[in-house]
Amino acid sequence: MGQEGSVWPTDNETAIKVFDRERNFNSEVSCYEILRDNQIYEIDGFTIPHLIDSDSELLVVEMTIVAPPFILDFGKAYINRRPDFSESVMEYYEQERAEMFEGNWDLVDSAVSSLEQFGIFYWDARPGNIDCRNHPLAKQND
């Protein structure tokens, strides 16, 4: 169960994600389409799932399953615009993420910044969505 819906593995080594909200579905599909159109399935050493299919009526996507290190869950991303948050909110976000990623925030922040060149402003950086395990530059925290 994700924050925007539910995810189930299939027998085809893919995953099905059913969204609760149309906005999150649209954002996720748009991001995966942008990445696919630019043939981006890895960024800064993080694997990104491939979009297999989507259904806008059912709010369902099918995507490949990836192993760490990965970036996934684009439902809260902003497309072609930065989020309009105050400076204090942004400072809190940075501080909170630095604590969450235990020494790997610079690595994660670099990958998130790399997404911006494609118009994807990723706003859900947390260890469940960006997994640093097995990344060659990650500080491993056991």
Query: Does residue 127 sit within a domain?
Result: yes
Give the model confidence (pLDDT) of 96-140 as tens digits: 999 999 999 999 999 999 999 999 999 999 999 999 999 999 997
Residue 2 has what pLDDT? 55
Phi-psi region of 70 (alpha: psi -120 to 50; beta: other; left: phi over 0): beta
Q: What is the pLDDT of residues 79-100, one digit of tens each?
A: 999 999 999 999 999 999 999 9
For 77-101, give the DSSP string: PEESS-----HHHHHHHHHHHHHHT
Count the domains in the chain: 1
In a domain, 139, yes or no: no
Q: Give pLDDT tens digits for 4-39.
A: 789 999 999 999 999 999 999 999 999 999 999 999
In this structure, is residue 140 part of a structural domain?
no
Angstrom distance (rounded) from CA 88 to CA 95: 11
**In this structure, is residue 68 part of a structural domain?**
yes
pLDDT for the residue 140: 77
